[in-house]
A and B are shown apart, each in its own frame.
Chain A
Amino acid sequence: MFASIMYKEWLKIRWTYLGGAVLGVFIVFEIFLNLGQIIEFNKANSVWNYIIFQKYLFYSDFQFLPAFIGLIVGIAQYFPEIQDKRLKLHLHLPMRENNLLLSMVAIGTVLLIIIYSFLLIGLSLVTLIYFPYEILVSLLNTVLPWIVAGFVIYFIAAALFIEIRWARRILIGVIAFAFVSMFYYYMGYDSFNKAIPVFTIIALSLSLLILLSGYRFKRGTK
């Protein structure tokens, strides 16, 4: 049963997913080219100095990429479900509705983990060509909140699309927007090092929001 759900979810999102991957590769490649150009036109030591002490984020183009991928995957996966209330059919499958909804979210989450890891590996390789590991560590610390924001947007997209009432949609949307904006507060690299565990726990707990929307969906469409 799970395998067939997985296949169905993959069919829904595959082109969007691959599109996100292509965009991601393009952005990582662009960061690589930009770095090469900056180092060609400046002395390497002044580039290091600028990155370390002026806190210049050479990877800032990556900032909204995880959020964007999370959003388009969420739309591709959940928007079709509310067209003609297709989700109603799924809820008749021989599987408990909560398990069904959680499987859908789990599949999307795993796919996001794969794409984000893949992009982070690319970004790490680009960084290590020019810089020592200390700069890579700070990059990973700094990029992590943006990645978590990607998951938040995906979970919220799931809860939003399955939700049937506009009032609730607006509530979740506004609160989530306020929450996601926190991940983009800029205070230089490494500034999220203390807060990221709690932010991650909150983000993960949001994966369950789809259940309430699913429950309301089922009740509302009976």
Chain B
Amino acid sequence: MKDREEILVLEDVWKVYRMGAVDVMALRGINLRITKGEFVVVLGPSGCGKTTLLNVIGGIDNPTKGKIIFNGRDVSRLDETGMTYHRRKNIGYIFQFFNLIPTLTARENVMLAAELVDNPRGVDEVLDIVGLLDRASHFPSELSGGEQQRVAIARALVKNPPMILADEPTGSLDFKTGIKILKVMKEINLKEKITFILVTHNSIIAEIADKVVYLKDGEVERVVLNEEPLSPDELEW
């Protein structure tokens, strides 16, 4: 891969939390390079630092030490406002528990994100991509778990971000629905060339990734490139 294709570079990233009298080293010198359009799966057991890694990439938290270069710009020392605008312009989020606003319809939940950027994608267009256009006027309580997660994907997509971060997106879904969601994500990744970083503890999901980052005790244990990633349809767990 050439440097110009890199969307994200992490150089010696550390994150240390102070918990009472103890310093907890959540990330210990992470070095990582992610290229544009890659589907990356970060894999590791609970407490290995997966979410912390996602937080520092997504601009929710600043690293204690090290550099995070996003599209050639150092985002590791941004202030509160800077981090908010980084999230607004560059990042789409997908959560384990969907986190839709219950008082807004599917369309309105997507619109809420669309209103954040100057040139959003069409709300109906992204709902169509995730296959939910016909359910757009339903409230979250009227949608199944899988449908809610698809709305969440549409919400992430509508801002047209170069990168989408997904934290255990299938964690609260059954197997079949989980596969469907992964399929939607993978299709978007392939068609729209949007970089995905998916955090999970489910090692099976790693099969669909272009790159798998194994985390252990806050360190990158190894990075494996998948020459021939599987289609989500081929997964089983």
| A and B pair up | no
